Structures are given as structure tokens and as C-alpha cells.
Amino acid sequence: MEKPAKKTVEGIKFGIAAKLGILLAVFGVLASGVTGYYTYNATRDILIRESSRDLLQSSQLLGEILGTG
């Protein structure tokens, strides 16, 4: 019996090591993307919360200054 030919793309043979390497690379890129997206959202929420607090404090201080003058 003859061994089945390996699948090729324009003459390049992909063995199990190459397939596993590509799979791990894709997994790494996806994991990095998910981590980056989560970090972006968490940081944005923190910045919005802090900015809102600072704006409220500034408005209250300005109201006190203008109200007592």
C-alpha cells in the first residue's frame, strides 16, 4: 500500500509540527487580542470614573467660590 500524499500548498508540505505551530500561533494571537480588549475596557472605565469624580469636585469647588463671593 502506498502512503497518502501530504497536503501541499504550492509545493510546501505541512507536517504535524508545522500544523501544531500554526495552531499555537493562532491561539496566541487570539489570547493577546482578548487580553488587550479586556484591558482597554477596564482602563477606559477607570478613567471615566476618575474624570467624572474630578469634574464633580471642580464644579462643587467653583460653586462654593462663586456662591460665597
For residue 7, the model assigns a pLDDT of 64
Q: How does DSSP classify residue 11?
A: T
Spell out the alpha helix ranges (H) of 1-69.
16-68
* Strand-pair partners of 3: none
Q: pTM for this structure? A: 0.59
Domain spans, the chain: 31-69
Residues of the chain with pLDDT below 50 are none
For residue 4, the model assigns a pLDDT of 66
Which amino acid is present at 36? G
